[in-house]
Amino acid sequence: MTNRARLQLVSDTPAGDADEARLDQVFFALADPVRRSILGRLDGHALLVSELAAAYDISLQAVSRHIQVLVRAGLVQQARTGRISRCSLDAGALYDAAVWMNRYSKYWQAQFDTLAAALAQIDAPGDAPLRRRAARRHK
């Protein structure tokens, strides 16, 4: 399935699934390293499309297509004055994606809790031989 077909599927989603469709667009946009790099360059800066394109070894047209994907995902705003197009970051959609991902942090937290318990056992008094063995393994 082409990128254009994926975007078309997202735009054909019923209104009740608008939030899911928006997340799909955000994650699709973030899946490409060039688009993530563009977002990084726009962090704190409003740049012309030509200024963005200068940083990449791809055509101006290709950069413009990447920017349009970011605009459709709500990650970038474009202000046009004649033929000049200035882009700026719109982090609202990133916040929505972060909220969605945060729902799964409980799984990561469980792993951190397990690690903390293991480290606490290593640091417990009376476990000096265990600490020495662990230190030898890391040398």
Q: By C-alpha distance, which of 77, 73, 53 is closest to 64?
A: 53
pLDDT by residue for the chain (139 residues), tens only, comes to 454 544 454 445 454 478 889 999 999 999 999 999 999 999 999 999 999 999 999 999 999 999 999 999 999 999 999 989 999 999 999 998 999 999 888 887 888 888 888 888 887 766 555 556 656 665 5
Q: What's the domain count of the chain?
A: 2
Specify the pLDDT at position 47. Answer: 96
Do 12 and 50 belong to one domain? Answer: yes
Same domain, 30 and 76: yes
The pTM score is: 0.67
Query: In terms of residue numbers, what domain contains 71?
Result: 3-95
Same domain? For 122 and 62 the reply is no
User: Do both 26 and 53 map to the same domain?
Assistant: yes
Residues 6+ apart with CB under 8 A from 53: 59, 60, 63, 64
Rg (CA), the chain: 23
* Same domain as 60, residue 15: yes
Q: How far is CA 39 from CA 52, 55, 65, 133, in A?
A: 10, 13, 14, 46
How high is the pLDDT of residue 78?
95
Same domain, 86 and 42: yes
Residue 14 and residue 41 in one domain? yes
**Residue 84 CA, distance from chain mean position:** 27
Q: Tell me the CA end-to-end span of the chain in Å, nearest whole number.
A: 50
Per DSSP, the three-state class of 40 is helix
- Asked if residue 61 and residue 7 are part of one domain, the reply reads yes
Please give the pLDDT value at position 75. 96
